[in-house]
Amino acid sequence: MTTAKSAIPARERLIYALDVPTVAEARRWVERLEDQVLFYKVGLQLFLAGGFPMVDWLTTRGRQVMLDLKFFDVPATVERAVAQVAGRGVTFTTVHGNDAIIAAAVAARGDVKILGVTVLTSFSEDDLRHMRLTGTVAELVFHRAQKAVHMGCDGLVSSPLEAARLRRELGNDFFIVTPGIRAADGDTVKNDDQQRVATAARAIADGADYVVVGRPIRDAAEPLQAAAAIQADIEAGLATRKHGHP
């Protein structure tokens, strides 16, 4: 497990979500944002459109990749799926499941780091009630995070609202990757389905190592400037953390 998180260059802490329908559009975004973004998320939509050739195109350009497929299946299938990712230069891939599923992913990871998905940022307390679950979203996140770390995941995916507790109570020997990031200027996001959100500065100050940002950049009038603003927000969060106010 990699623990030298303090060595992560600040500019690599922004992961841009390539949540677009075609390879051509994804490539245009990478070329447009190259001056500001060094790390990209490839999720289900783009992976179904472009597969591993899209991933390979990114890695051959020297870009890091978070392959966000949220593997969830019987353990043997997850193990074989993760083995397909290993050896391709992917930095992170995600798994979402119980102990046996997580253990299978960890066993097959090779050179790719496994992120355990805790609770999707679109989830709310109402969703828990509809599922007839008691407790709070924060409690569910912590329970799943604790198990994922114990099972050997290299990191966790959680909303920025849970980062402080995860870091405080579970330590520093894992990565925290936070989607649900919003611009510091308070601009709203179109068709926003995420419930648990915060700025990049808050997420990083609270102990997150990476922030995943899509629509606040993609929907901006000037996407390159929006990416630069997120990078500045990350720097602000790091400065706060370094001064002892996580």
Place of tokens 């043997």: 76
Neighbouring-strand partners of residue 15: 39, 212
For the question of residue 70 being annotated catalytic, the response is yes
Residues 179-186 have a mean pLDDT of 80
DSSP state of 12: G
Pairing state between β 210-213 and 175-178? parallel
Which of these ranges, 3-12, 108-117, 132-141, has the smallest mean pLDDT?
Answer: 3-12
Residue 119 lies in a domain: yes
Which of 41, 70, 147, 242 does the annotation list as catalytic? 70
Residue 65 lies in a domain: yes
Per-residue pLDDT, 182: 87
Per-residue pLDDT, 246: 42
Contact 96, 70 (CB under 8 A): yes
Per-residue pLDDT, 132: 75
Task: Please give the residue range of the domain that contains residue 238.
Answer: 7-242
Domain containing 237 — which CATH number?
3.20.20.70
Per-residue pLDDT, 138: 87
User: Domain tally for the chain?
Assistant: 1
**Cα 198 from chain centroid (whole Å):** 14
User: Closest Cα to residue 215, out of 70, 19, 73, 61?
Assistant: 19
Residue 2 lies in a domain: no
Exposed/middle/buried for residue 52 (C-beta within 10 Å: 0-12, 13-18, 19+): middle
pTM above 0.85, yes or no: yes
- The answer, yes or no, to whether residue 38 has pLDDT greater than 70, is yes
- The answer, yes or no, to whether residue 122 has pLDDT greater than 80, is no
Per-residue pLDDT, 241: 81
pLDDT digits (tens, 9 = 90+) for 196-243: 678 999 999 999 999 999 999 999 999 999 999 999 999 999 998 865
What interhelical angle do 44-60 and 23-33 show, nearest 10? 50
Share of the chain above pLDDT 70, in %: 90
